[in-house]
Amino acid sequence: LPDAKYINASPCVDLVRMKKDLQEQVLMIESSKINDAVMEEIIPFIQEGVTEKQLAKKLDELFFNHHSTCYGAIVAFGKNAADPHHENDDTLLRKGDCVLIDMGCVYKGYCSDMTRTFYFKEVSDEHRHIYETVRKANEAAIAKIKPGIPLCELDNTARQLITDEGYGPQFNHRLGHFIGLSEHEFGDVSSVNTDKAVPGMIFSIEPGIYLTDDTGVRVEDLVLVTEDGCEVLNHYPKELQIIG
Protein backbone atom coordinates (compact mmCIF):
# COMPACT_ATOMS: atom_id res chain seq x y z
CA LEU A 1 0.00 0.00 0.00
CA PRO A 2 2.51 2.64 -1.12
CA ASP A 3 0.01 5.51 -0.92
CA ALA A 4 -1.48 4.60 2.46
CA LYS A 5 -1.13 6.99 5.36
CA TYR A 6 -1.12 5.77 8.93
CA ILE A 7 -2.29 7.70 11.96
CA ASN A 8 -1.57 6.66 15.53
CA ALA A 9 -4.97 5.90 17.03
CA SER A 10 -3.70 5.31 20.58
CA PRO A 11 -4.68 8.81 21.81
CA CYS A 12 -8.32 8.00 21.09
CA VAL A 13 -8.14 5.46 23.91
CA ASP A 14 -5.42 7.04 26.05
CA LEU A 15 -7.19 10.38 26.44
CA VAL A 16 -10.43 8.68 27.46
CA ARG A 17 -8.63 6.52 30.01
CA MET A 18 -7.11 9.60 31.64
CA LYS A 19 -10.54 10.51 33.01
CA LYS A 20 -12.16 7.90 35.27
CA ASP A 21 -15.93 7.50 35.45
CA LEU A 22 -17.71 7.04 38.77
CA GLN A 23 -17.50 3.25 38.77
CA GLU A 24 -13.79 3.37 38.06
CA GLN A 25 -13.28 5.90 40.83
CA VAL A 26 -15.04 3.64 43.32
CA LEU A 27 -12.81 0.69 42.40
CA MET A 28 -9.63 2.75 42.63
CA ILE A 29 -10.64 4.17 46.00
CA GLU A 30 -11.16 0.61 47.24
CA SER A 31 -7.82 -0.48 45.78
CA SER A 32 -6.14 2.35 47.68
CA LYS A 33 -7.91 1.35 50.89
CA ILE A 34 -6.34 -2.09 50.53
CA ASN A 35 -2.96 -0.44 50.00
CA ASP A 36 -3.39 1.55 53.23
CA ALA A 37 -4.34 -1.58 55.16
CA VAL A 38 -1.39 -3.61 53.89
CA MET A 39 1.05 -0.81 54.71
CA GLU A 40 -0.17 -0.91 58.29
CA GLU A 41 0.04 -4.71 58.39
CA ILE A 42 3.64 -4.85 57.10
CA ILE A 43 5.06 -2.64 59.88
CA PRO A 44 5.48 -5.46 62.47
CA PHE A 45 7.59 -7.39 59.94
CA ILE A 46 10.13 -4.56 59.60
CA GLN A 47 12.72 -6.01 61.94
CA GLU A 48 16.50 -6.06 62.13
CA GLY A 49 17.98 -8.72 59.84
CA VAL A 50 15.02 -9.03 57.49
CA THR A 51 15.92 -8.75 53.80
CA GLU A 52 14.27 -6.67 51.12
CA LYS A 53 13.16 -9.80 49.29
CA GLN A 54 11.64 -11.29 52.45
CA LEU A 55 9.66 -8.13 53.12
CA ALA A 56 8.46 -7.99 49.51
CA LYS A 57 7.32 -11.61 49.72
CA LYS A 58 5.33 -10.82 52.87
CA LEU A 59 3.65 -7.95 51.01
CA ASP A 60 2.53 -10.42 48.33
CA GLU A 61 0.94 -12.57 51.03
CA LEU A 62 -0.81 -9.65 52.69
CA PHE A 63 -2.29 -8.38 49.43
CA PHE A 64 -3.48 -11.90 48.63
CA ASN A 65 -5.31 -11.93 51.96
CA HIS A 66 -7.18 -8.83 50.81
CA HIS A 67 -8.29 -10.51 47.57
CA SER A 68 -5.93 -8.42 45.46
CA THR A 69 -2.65 -8.90 43.63
CA CYS A 70 0.58 -7.05 44.35
CA TYR A 71 2.12 -6.03 41.03
CA GLY A 72 5.70 -5.84 42.28
CA ALA A 73 6.68 -3.74 45.27
CA ILE A 74 9.97 -1.88 45.58
CA VAL A 75 11.54 -2.45 49.00
CA ALA A 76 14.79 -0.54 49.50
CA PHE A 77 16.94 -0.30 52.63
CA GLY A 78 19.54 2.38 53.33
CA LYS A 79 21.64 3.41 50.35
CA ASN A 80 19.59 1.16 48.04
CA ALA A 81 16.77 3.70 48.33
CA ALA A 82 18.93 6.22 46.47
CA ASP A 83 17.93 4.33 43.29
CA PRO A 84 14.29 5.21 42.48
CA HIS A 85 13.97 1.97 40.49
CA HIS A 86 15.88 -0.33 42.82
CA GLU A 87 15.35 -4.07 42.39
CA ASN A 88 14.82 -5.90 45.66
CA ASP A 89 17.82 -7.93 46.81
CA ASP A 90 19.17 -9.73 49.88
CA THR A 91 20.28 -6.58 51.72
CA LEU A 92 19.72 -6.91 55.46
CA LEU A 93 17.97 -4.19 57.42
CA ARG A 94 20.21 -2.46 59.95
CA LYS A 95 19.88 0.28 62.55
CA GLY A 96 19.72 3.75 61.00
CA ASP A 97 18.60 2.53 57.58
CA CYS A 98 15.72 4.10 55.76
CA VAL A 99 13.01 1.68 54.66
CA LEU A 100 11.40 2.78 51.40
CA ILE A 101 8.33 0.80 50.36
CA ASP A 102 6.72 1.62 47.01
CA MET A 103 3.76 -0.69 46.51
CA GLY A 104 0.36 -1.14 44.97
CA CYS A 105 -2.16 -3.76 44.04
CA VAL A 106 -4.69 -4.65 41.40
CA TYR A 107 -8.25 -4.93 42.70
CA LYS A 108 -11.00 -5.91 40.24
CA GLY A 109 -8.79 -4.71 37.40
CA TYR A 110 -7.79 -1.33 38.86
CA CYS A 111 -4.45 -0.32 40.35
CA SER A 112 -3.34 1.54 43.45
CA ASP A 113 0.09 2.97 44.21
CA MET A 114 1.70 4.49 47.30
CA THR A 115 5.17 5.06 48.73
CA ARG A 116 6.13 5.60 52.34
CA THR A 117 9.64 5.94 53.74
CA PHE A 118 10.47 5.00 57.33
CA TYR A 119 13.66 4.94 59.38
CA PHE A 120 14.70 1.97 61.47
CA LYS A 121 15.45 2.66 65.17
CA GLU A 122 17.10 6.06 64.58
CA VAL A 123 17.35 8.90 62.09
CA SER A 124 20.08 11.50 61.67
CA ASP A 125 19.32 15.21 61.62
CA GLU A 126 20.15 15.42 57.91
CA HIS A 127 17.93 12.48 57.03
CA ARG A 128 15.11 13.95 59.08
CA HIS A 129 15.48 17.24 57.19
CA ILE A 130 15.42 15.39 53.87
CA TYR A 131 12.30 13.53 54.88
CA GLU A 132 10.46 16.67 55.97
CA THR A 133 11.44 18.43 52.75
CA VAL A 134 9.97 15.62 50.64
CA ARG A 135 6.80 15.46 52.72
CA LYS A 136 6.28 19.21 52.40
CA ALA A 137 6.84 19.02 48.64
CA ASN A 138 4.21 16.29 48.40
CA GLU A 139 1.71 18.31 50.41
CA ALA A 140 2.44 21.60 48.62
CA ALA A 141 1.78 20.06 45.21
CA ILE A 142 -1.41 18.37 46.39
CA ALA A 143 -2.68 21.65 47.85
CA LYS A 144 -2.56 23.27 44.39
CA ILE A 145 -4.57 20.61 42.57
CA LYS A 146 -7.83 21.82 41.07
CA PRO A 147 -9.50 21.72 37.66
CA GLY A 148 -7.71 23.88 35.14
CA ILE A 149 -4.26 23.93 36.72
CA PRO A 150 -1.47 22.93 34.31
CA LEU A 151 0.13 19.68 35.42
CA CYS A 152 3.59 21.20 34.94
CA GLU A 153 2.77 23.73 37.65
CA LEU A 154 2.33 20.91 40.17
CA ASP A 155 5.75 19.50 39.25
CA ASN A 156 7.30 22.96 39.46
CA THR A 157 5.78 23.57 42.91
CA ALA A 158 7.33 20.44 44.42
CA ARG A 159 10.59 20.83 42.54
CA GLN A 160 11.09 24.45 43.60
CA LEU A 161 10.55 23.59 47.26
CA ILE A 162 13.15 20.82 47.07
CA THR A 163 15.53 23.06 45.11
CA ASP A 164 15.23 25.82 47.71
CA GLU A 165 16.46 23.33 50.32
CA GLY A 166 19.52 22.52 48.21
CA TYR A 167 18.45 19.12 46.84
CA GLY A 168 17.24 20.05 43.36
CA PRO A 169 19.61 17.72 41.44
CA GLN A 170 18.67 14.85 43.78
CA PHE A 171 15.01 15.00 42.67
CA ASN A 172 15.72 13.24 39.40
CA HIS A 173 12.35 12.09 38.06
CA ARG A 174 8.92 13.47 37.18
CA LEU A 175 6.49 14.28 39.96
CA GLY A 176 3.83 11.78 38.97
CA HIS A 177 2.16 9.43 36.52
CA PHE A 178 -1.39 8.55 35.55
CA ILE A 179 -2.79 5.23 36.73
CA GLY A 180 -5.88 3.07 36.27
CA LEU A 181 -6.15 -0.26 34.48
CA SER A 182 -2.34 -0.16 34.35
CA GLU A 183 0.16 0.98 36.96
CA HIS A 184 1.50 3.59 34.52
CA GLU A 185 -0.92 4.99 31.97
CA PHE A 186 -0.63 7.65 29.28
CA GLY A 187 0.15 11.09 30.67
CA ASP A 188 2.29 12.35 33.49
CA VAL A 189 2.81 15.17 35.95
CA SER A 190 6.08 16.63 34.73
CA SER A 191 7.75 19.94 34.01
CA VAL A 192 6.98 19.65 30.29
CA ASN A 193 3.32 18.58 30.41
CA THR A 194 1.14 21.66 29.99
CA ASP A 195 -2.13 19.69 29.94
CA LYS A 196 -4.61 20.93 32.51
CA ALA A 197 -6.18 18.92 35.32
CA VAL A 198 -9.74 17.75 34.67
CA PRO A 199 -12.23 16.24 37.15
CA GLY A 200 -11.97 12.45 37.08
CA MET A 201 -8.22 12.32 36.47
CA ILE A 202 -6.25 10.11 38.88
CA PHE A 203 -2.49 10.45 39.09
CA SER A 204 0.37 10.15 41.58
CA ILE A 205 2.22 12.89 43.43
CA GLU A 206 5.60 11.43 44.40
CA PRO A 207 8.49 13.81 45.01
CA GLY A 208 11.78 12.32 46.18
CA ILE A 209 15.34 13.09 47.21
CA TYR A 210 18.03 10.51 46.47
CA LEU A 211 21.58 10.74 47.86
CA THR A 212 23.89 8.22 46.22
CA ASP A 213 25.44 5.71 48.65
CA ASP A 214 23.51 7.30 51.51
CA THR A 215 19.71 7.35 51.59
CA GLY A 216 16.58 7.94 49.56
CA VAL A 217 13.18 9.33 50.50
CA ARG A 218 9.97 9.28 48.48
CA VAL A 219 6.43 10.07 49.62
CA GLU A 220 3.71 9.11 47.14
CA ASP A 221 -0.04 9.49 47.11
CA LEU A 222 -2.71 9.04 44.46
CA VAL A 223 -5.08 11.95 43.92
CA LEU A 224 -8.46 12.18 42.24
CA VAL A 225 -9.23 15.57 40.69
CA THR A 226 -12.68 16.74 41.83
CA GLU A 227 -14.89 19.64 40.75
CA ASP A 228 -13.31 22.01 43.28
CA GLY A 229 -9.97 20.47 44.22
CA CYS A 230 -8.85 16.92 44.78
CA GLU A 231 -9.34 13.87 46.96
CA VAL A 232 -6.26 12.09 48.26
CA LEU A 233 -6.85 8.35 47.93
CA ASN A 234 -4.16 7.26 50.41
CA HIS A 235 -4.66 7.78 54.12
CA TYR A 236 -1.67 6.06 55.72
CA PRO A 237 0.09 8.79 57.75
CA LYS A 238 2.95 10.77 56.21
CA GLU A 239 4.57 11.99 59.41
CA LEU A 240 8.10 10.62 59.88
CA GLN A 241 7.85 7.21 61.54
CA ILE A 242 10.85 5.62 63.27
CA ILE A 243 10.28 1.88 63.55
CA GLY A 244 11.77 -0.36 66.21
pLDDT at 116: 98
pLDDT digits (tens, 9 = 90+) for 26-55: 999 999 999 999 999 999 999 999 999 999
Tell me the pLDDT band of 109, cut-offs 50, 70 and 90. Answer: very high
Find the mean pLDDT for residues 94-121. 98
* Structure confidence at residue 240 (pLDDT): 98
Q: What is the structure's pLDDT at 125?
A: 98
Predicted pLDDT at 19: 97
Q: Give the per-residue pLDDT at 97.
A: 98
Q: What is the pLDDT of residues 58-75, one digit of tens each?
A: 999 999 999 999 999 999
Q: Give tens-digit pLDDT for 124-167.
A: 999 999 999 999 999 999 999 999 999 999 999 999 999 999 99
Average pLDDT over residues 171-181: 98
What is the predicted pLDDT for the residue at 17?
95
3-class SS letters over the chain:
CCCCCCCCCHHHHHHHHCECCHHHHHHHHHHHHHHHHHHHHHHHHCCCCCEHHHHHHHHHHHHHHCCCEECCCEEEEHHHHHCCCCCCCCCECCCCCEEEEEECEEECCEECCEEEEEEECCCCHHHHHHHHHHHHHHHHHHHCCCCCCEHHHHHHHHHHHHHHCCCHHHCCCCCEEECCCCCCEEEEECCCCCCECCCCEEEEECCEEEECCCEEEECEEEEEECCCCEEECCCCCCCCCEEC
The pLDDT of residue 26: 98
